[in-house]
A and B are shown apart, each in its own frame.
Chain A
Amino acid sequence: MKATAEQIQLIDKALIKIGINYADIRCEMTDHIAAELEQKDERFEHHLKGYILQNKSELKRTNRRFIFIAMGRAYKKLLVNMLKPWSFLVFALMFALGMYLIQSIGREDAVIALFYFFIAISCILSIPVTYKALTKKNQHSLDFGFSFINIIVLYPTIYMVDYQTAIDNNMMVALYYAVVMMISITMYVTIWQFNKQFKLRYNG
């Protein structure tokens, strides 16, 4: 017996119900469960309920392991991208912009300007990610790892505004913003690359 489109939907919904939210993980699990249930008799829903009940904790555990593996993969790719020449170009441009602002409008105003510039760029770049998180559409396992980097970069930046206006080191201020901007921009380029790969793989 081959599973119908409706039956595949039922498996997908059952997996969402137990917390398997990422599309790529669900797609693979759905295929496995469908292949297993196709070997049984016509009572599809009955067997599906039995399968989920019997394997619920195993499925959840596998889901967590998938997410951790994806996290490792995401960070590895991010690191590779950070070592690429265009990433260094972003760093150099941001550093030059920081130094120019400090020289022209003074350190205090430059820190505020650079901070708002960082927030604006981060907000613009994170629109697609936020949209996906809110609509819960096409989220893939690699999205999870990147949400941490956002917090890691954002929190010290907010915290350091007061400190940076007080310290007497222009280069440190420009260097800090060059680093955080490079991390943010590289991260969003990496997310974009992964999204493109996922679209090609799952929708193409």
Chain B
Amino acid sequence: MYGYEITQKVKLITKGELNITEGALYPALHKLEADGLLDVEVEKVDNRLRKYYKLTESGEKETVNRLAELEEFIKNMQSLVTPNVKPDLQF
């Protein structure tokens, strides 16, 4: 996927709720590339060069780990916000 495509896809999936600006997206992509989590290919498309990003093997592993972390975090947050009410304390 290329940068603009990512911004549009995020907009589409989140039904416009999330709008990633280029100022936030590209530095993040470059950082991930520098860390070896993204692989880059450049192709000439419509009179210009286009940079395509794809996850490397370690990038895919990192994505799985980060998603698991995020899931755990959300679970913890949910249990903090809506704690299970102990039956013996109920009126």
Contacts and interface: CB of A to CB of B under 8 A. Distances in A.
A5 interface: yes
Contacts of B42: 27, 201-202
A32 B46 contact: no
Contacts of A55: 22
Interface stretch (B25-33, B57-65, B70-78, B81-89): B25-33
Size bracket of the B interface: 20 to 34
Nearest to A7: B47
Contacts of B9: none
Given A76-B34, A202-B42, A65 B27 contact: yes
B4 to A, nearest CB: 4
Interface string B1-38: 01110000000000000000111001100110010000
A125 interface: no
Contacts, number: 68
Interface of B: 2-4, 21-23, 26-27, 30-31, 34, 40-42, 45-51
B3 A32 contact: yes
Determine the main DSSP class of A at the interface with B. Answer: helix
Given A62-B22, A69-B27, A76-B34, A31 B40 contact: no
Contact of B51 (A3, A5, A8, A28): A28
